[in-house]
């Protein structure tokens, strides 16, 4: 999953939003670790399950890593400055469990779903229109 994230990182432009979905343990955070590394971030990337948002300075861009898993109401996300972050020209937003609040993702967001295979491998599917 990290290798896939690193590969995709080169395609991401500032202002893009990526929504990730998949079962617990499917590899969403591992994918984000690869994205961050591919964007130039050299530190430790962890899941923002309890804090809801981590920001990583990755070269000229900032990777904003959200996790909607424990969020009960969309107002919690909005209170973190979601609308302002969507307008930030130098940020890439990545959202784990994006399917909980799909209405928050802007049109044109890249929607990815991680599926675990019986063999233990993962498959990454694009759900974007």
DSSP 88-113: -TTEEEEEETGGGSGGGSPTT-EEEE
pLDDT in tens, 12-68: 888 899 999 999 988 999 999 999 999 999 999 998 888 889 999 988 889 999 999
- Answer yes or no: are the C-beta atoms of 64 and 93 closer than 8 Å: yes
| The overall pTM is greater than 0.85 | yes
Q: Tell me the C-alpha distance between 36 and 77, whole Å.
A: 22
Q: Backbone phi, then psi, for 85, in 5-degree steps?
A: -65, -35
Strand, helix or coil for residue 47? coil
């Amino acid at each position: 999953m990290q290798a896939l994230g690193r590969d995709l990182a080169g395609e991401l432009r500032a202002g893009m939003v990526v929504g990730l979905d998949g079962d617990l343990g499917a590899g969403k955070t591992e994918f984000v670790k690869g994205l961050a590394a591919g964007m130039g971030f050299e530190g430790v990337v962890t899941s923002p399950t309890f804090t809801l948002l981590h920001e990583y300075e990755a070269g000229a861009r900032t990777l904003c890593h959200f996790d909607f898993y424990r969020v009960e109401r969309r107002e919690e996300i909005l209170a973190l400055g979601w609308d302002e972050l969507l307008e930030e020209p130098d940020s890439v937003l990545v959202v784990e469990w994006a399917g909980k609040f799909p209405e928050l993702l802007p049109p044109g967001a890249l929607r990815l779903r991680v599926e675990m295979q019986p063999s233990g491998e993962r498959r990454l599917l694009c759900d974007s229109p």
